[in-house]
Chain A
């Protein structure tokens, strides 16, 4: 469309439509190859009774209901209970189950931030993420920019998230390339002595458990 036509079109819209708030155009353009493939496979699976449409809907609903508060519970327990922390660092999945978190077949590795090491999680190959404990990953986690740069220039990426790691602290990146999933155990913020576990859990934000931020008192 030429710019001239475009202007005409806007002109036309403005004057010929009597309703002041025309609905925006639908965003459903032509399906991409993989979108069409997904729909085709889904309808076949339902048609062949591998699962029902309602089962699929329920699964999506259950995944959407997951949130970072679940990971926060694990972090808060590790902050208040040194023995639990040791168990979580040795076997993250067992520790999550121990406090009643339902994680399915998740193979969890918990990595601890210390005065010597800051951990950062990325999946360069796709978007592996501990969804059972953090919910669905944010868009930036899945972006090509984050996935390629987090392994190449992690300190620059951290700075863009507002997180400055001093040079005397090792930045340790975890590329989640295969069967394990990673949760960062952030450092417990100062000034939180005696806080109840529930209150502490709220400090362990999604970003602090991916490692792009620190846990901070709000």
Chain B
């Protein structure tokens, strides 16, 4: 999409998911909020579903990433090897550069 918001992150960048709890239709799972991971890929730019849910255009389009997390980062008592991971699609406005 030509009028998409420019992508701020590239594969390999470390990012942290915002710990926010706004009301409405959200596609950022609770269990990932506040967690840090690595950008696996940029999926493209998509109309923001939080706006679409209210019949608004959701533009300019938001870059959407796949972010890879270590399971141990998400669950304190994860019962499995440290190498296990999970990948989640997260829109750019939910991500900050990891400190």
Contacts and interface: CB of A to CB of B under 8 A. Distances in A.
B85 to A, nearest CB: 5
B80 interface: yes
A125 B86 contact: no
Contact of B83 (A170, A173, A176): A170
A87 interface: no
B79 interface: yes
Contacts of A180: 43, 64, 66, 89
A175 B86 CA distance: 7
Interface string B43-68: 11010010000000000000010101
A16 interface: no
A174 B84 CA distance: 12
Interface string A87-128: 000000000000000000001010000000000000011000
Contact of A154 (B66, B80, B89): B80
B16 interface: no
B46 to A, nearest CB: 5
Contacts of B64: 178-180
Contact of A177 (B68, B80, B83, B88): B88
Contacts, number: 74
A152 interface: yes
For A152, A174, A178, the residue with the greatest tally of chain B CB atoms inside 10 Å of its CB is: A178
Contact of A175 (B29, B46, B83, B91): B29
A177 B27 contact: yes
Interface string A142-172: 0000000001111110000000000110111
Contact of A171 (B29, B49, B84, B88): B84
A125 B31 CA distance: 11
Interface in B2-30: 27-29
Interface residues of A, number: 23
B80 A155 contact: yes
B70 to A, nearest CB: 10
Nearest to A119: B87
A151 B80 CA distance: 12
Contacts of B84: 154-155, 170-173
A180 B44 CA distance: 10
B85 A178 contact: no
Contact of B43 (A151, A156, A172, A179): A179
30 contacts: A107-B43, A107-B44, A109-B43, A109-B66, A124-B29, A124-B31, A125-B29, A151-B74, A152-B75, A155-B79, A155-B80, A156-B79, A167-B81, A170-B84, A170-B85, A171-B80, A171-B81, A171-B84, A172-B84, A172-B87, A175-B29, A175-B86, A176-B89, A178-B27, A178-B43, A178-B49, A178-B89, A178-B90, A180-B43, A180-B89
Interface of B: 27-29, 31, 43-44, 46, 49, 64, 66, 68, 71, 74-75, 79-81, 83-91
